[in-house]
Structure 1
């Protein structure tokens, strides 16, 4: 699964790297992004890829009582299409979530040791995701979930799952452009990040608490 990640890339680099037509003024870097927080994502608009904030943890439109619904932070890419209640999201509401690394914890006896996983070249990438908008008497809530897949060889040393990572613009375009690409076409970009592009290292246990959001979170120990 993916339950914590980072986005430390500056806005100009993100706009250029992902060729974004709109970018929110409120953006700031984060070293320890956690579920329920607003996260930087993008959808395909008429004028190109538009970035904005979505709450991390999917609450589908059909949920009546948000308090009794556990937000879905991850969805298994292999089985999501089998769930009838999510098929419309695969067809019409695909998104990407921007990141430059994510954290995973390795079980070592009774201890859980945090690790940071990223691209070897350090560049930002996108998680494949789904989004939806829920409306009730409490107002509108726009949320998203991150798709996961089987871990690549590097990741398997610490966990059996990893997020679906899109690292090329054509992959992102295929996933986002719901008008041009069906889900059958879009799912061809779902797969493992190539092992040769992946690196990981141990980090401090300060990342265990979402309250700790500072550069020390990403430093190797």
Structure 2
């Protein structure tokens, strides 16, 4: 399960890759976890960087707490909810510069950070939905990460990984003209030789901490 990621680059670097208008002010975030805000680009507004909450609350859910953070790529055209979102073009790019996966060593878990060698900022495939609070009528927009079977580098820790898009597949993911076959083909695992993995501080579990110490590579060997 992909349950946390980051977007830590400064605004000028972000705009080198995605030179679009921002709906809200941008703040680098070193650990974006469930229910936290993340930056996305939606299919219906491809020139606008928007802020939504991570972990999707489908529009028909009765409670906001019943959220989902991932959608398996093998299910996006099978599961009725995901297929409805895909068909309605509720697809998005989730902007990131790394993601985290925890691995258990004995009685403890330790986090690994993954990022790309050739891109400082990249996009993960996502689906999104707008939920209306039945009591307050407040609109709550949220997203989930589409996952795919992991490449060998990630598979040593987890069987699945986020779908990381290339500039070419980003366009396919957002386009209304993309066929179902092309969508599924765009959900392949990112090449392991183009990724880096290293251990980072367990402090990423503490949401009160948001600084560069969280992504500093650590050389310790878990017992």
For normalisation by structure 1, the TM-score amounts to 0.91
Instruction: Report the Cα distance in structure 2 between the residues aligned to 1:162 and 1:210, rounded to whole angstroms.
Output: 22
The answer to whether the 8 A contact 2:75-2:82 is kept is: no
Equivalent in the alignment of 2:168: 170
Instruction: Report the Cα distance in structure 1 between the residues aligned to 2:209 and 2:140, rounded to whole angstroms.
Output: 26
Equivalent in the alignment of 2:182: 185
Query: Post-superposition, which runs of at least 4 consecutive aligned residues in structure 1 deviate over 4 A?
Result: none
Instruction: Report the Cα distance in structure 1 between the residues aligned to 2:148 and 2:40, rounded to whole angstroms.
Output: 19
Compute the displacement of 1:205 (Å): 1.1
Q: Does 1:52 align with 2:67?
A: no
Matches within 5 A, 1:60-99: 60-63=58-61, 65-67=62-64, 69-91=65-87, 92-99=89-96
Instruction: Report the Cα distance in structure 1 between the residues aligned to 2:148 and 2:189, rounded to whole angstroms.
Output: 7
Q: How many residues align?
A: 215
Partner SS for 1:149:
strand
Which of 209, 212, 215 pairs up with 1:212? 209
Instruction: Report the Cα distance in structure 2 between the residues aligned to 1:128 and 1:108, rounded to whole angstroms.
Output: 30
The answer to whether the 8 A contact 2:71-2:82 is kept is: no
Compute the displacement of 1:140 (Å): 1.0
Question: 5+ unaligned residues in a row in structure 1: which ranges?
Answer: none
The answer to whether the 8 A contact 1:18-1:169 is kept is: no
Compute the displacement of 1:186 (Å): 2.1
Compute the displacement of 1:122 (Å): 5.1
Compute the displacement of 1:15 (Å): 2.4
Compute the displacement of 1:25 (Å): 4.1
Equivalent in the alignment of 1:107: 104
Instruction: Report the Cα distance in structure 2 between the residues aligned to 1:11 and 1:187, rounded to whole angstroms.
Output: 32
Partner SS for 1:82:
coil
Question: 5+ unaligned residues in a row in structure 2: which ranges?
Answer: 219-223
